[in-house]
Structure 1
Amino acid sequence: MAQPVARDFSYQTLYEEEFFFTSALQHEYAQAKTLKIADLANQPILLLEEGHCLREQAMAVCKMAKNNEIADFTATSLETLRLMVQAGMGVTLLPALATLAQSSNLLAYIPFVKPAPSRTLALFWRPGSPKTPCLRAIAQCISELIEPKLKKLSHAMHAQ
């Protein structure tokens, strides 16, 4: 689950994940090495439909960019969102791990200058749960598996 969330839960942070500007290969920014958040201004942003935490996170970044150009269309899944961007219907913000999908080579993923917009994901559970030790161990395993991939991906994207 992405943070923040109500405080009446116990949680352990899993990882922090950068957002990448995502566009069709023909987009004016497709060849850029990096972008500033302000570069989002006046871009038609495609988002997931209401209820997805990723939508709210992307909208927060758009607000920082003073972008009110939210496209009229919404997607029900990340794959649909990728296809809409590929078709040139707009641009979007995708979390780093979503750039590893098979269809990734059909889109341009541009990193933002540091500090890049990001989201923090965490595992939440009820306080006092007898499964707390197990959940903490699962969270640790996820962190140990994902964090090296994110560091490698961030380094590769910023080195281009």
Structure 2
Amino acid sequence: MTNSWCDARPTLHLVQFSGPIPKLTDSCTGASIRRRPSVTGPGTFTSSQLATLTGALPTLRAFRRGTTVTEAAREQGVSQPAMSRMIARWESDLAIPLVRKQGRGIALTEEGMVLAGAAEEALAVFESSLETVMSTRDSRPVRLGTLRSLSGHLAPLIADAQTRVNLSVSEGSADALLSLLAGSELDAAIVGPRPTDAKFTWSFLGDQPFHLVVPRDHPLAVLREVQLTGLGDEPFVAMDKQYTTRQFADELCQEAGINPVIAVESDNSHTLRSFVQAGLGLCILPAAMAAAPGVSSVPILRPDSSTATREIGLVRVAGRQLPPHVRTILLNLTATFSQVRLGDRN
């Protein structure tokens, strides 16, 4: 005789469910019944099981080397109770006993020893690879982008650097450099004007003056400074519209109330200066790109008589972590850039 149906021989009923598997409970006690992790076949395991066990590798290796739970917890920066709970969770999630009591401490089970040996080998390979990656990271060049009108200013900064500088410099338009920076192909870029995109940070470096380039025998060549007002009838040659140099030149013309005819466009300042020398037109360029044989460059004044300049700064991607040596070199460049006279010819 049985006192209740819970004492009777259990009968197995197979029921096919559609949808989520219901939570299982013991009909007599009401306790939840833990399901063993699902396995797709003999000797296989799920990605979640792998992810669970990956966090256990350093602990298993420590136990294999005779480290106690307290010592392992201290090495990994957690409390001893937290370490004990992690071990219990690993065993529960994997449905494998990893440790057993031995005296006042613990020892690895047979299964735990097998996994600990694999953990030792796996971590040795990983740590070796990590050391190689970190070493490469700390020796790679600093990848710096710069406008062509500024690249020549980097040479004296690098020459005066107190430490060895391994630098890879890319030149281009501001838009092209910012695209490379956003794509992690550059660590930083020196551009102007300041980008409006919030994903970039900006460190002001200086003001870059702009000059009007004229033929050596042009009446404006003798002036110490010039306003663009009244030059609307003069032909001009200009940088291609993709460059911020051209965009700033157009802004200066608009401020002066002129809309000159652009006779020639080019992406090369040397070519533009040769066109000016040949008499094809005047040109607005950064002062550092304006001087050349056969031409004169005259500082431009805005309508309010202030010098025509644009801001130059160092741009980085906000929140992006850079290797320590890269950060150090960029900080040094930023600190010493104040010594640069942006109006000097490269």
- TM-score, normalised to structure 1's length? 0.80
Q: Mean alpha-carbon deviation: is it higher for 104-113 or for 89-98?
A: 104-113
Query: Structure 2: any 5+ residue segments left out of the alignment?
Result: 1-190
1:144 corresponds to which residue? 338
Cα distance change, pair 72–106 in 1 and its aligned pair in 2 (3 A): closer
Q: What one-letter code is carried by the residue in structure 1 that aligns with 2:315?
A: F
Post-superposition CA distance 1:89-140 (Å, at most 9, x none)? 000112121135xxx2321111234411111111111112223843333222
Q: Report the secondary structure of 1:128's partner residue.
A: coil
Question: Relative contact order, CA 8 A, sep 6+: which one is greater?
Answer: 1
- Residue identity (%): 19
Q: Distance in 1 between matches of 2:294 and 2:255?
A: 28
1:34 and 2:225 matched: yes
Of 44, 50, 55, the match for 2:235: 44
Deviation at 1:31, TM superposition (A): 1.6
2:269 corresponds to which residue? 78
1:158 corresponds to which residue? none
Matches within 5 A, 1:120-135: 120-131=311-322, 133-134=327-328, 135=330
1:69 corresponds to which residue? 260
Select the structure of larger CA radius of gyration. 2
Matches within 5 A, 1:12-23: 12-23=203-214
Q: Distance in 2 between matches of 1:4 and 1:22?
A: 25
Q: Quick check: 1:15–1:121 contact (8 Å CA) kept in 2?
A: yes
Deviation at 1:39, TM superposition (A): 4.2
Query: Structure 1: any 5+ residue segments left out of the alignment?
Result: 154-160
- TM-score, normalised to structure 2's length? 0.39
Q: Quick check: 2:234–2:282 contact (8 Å CA) kept in 1?
A: yes
Runs of 4+ in structure 1 over 2 Å off? 39-43, 129-141
The structure richer in strand per residue is 1
Aligned positions, number:
146
Matches within 5 A, 1:52-63: 52-63=243-254
Q: Aligned-residue CA RMSD in angstroms?
A: 2.0
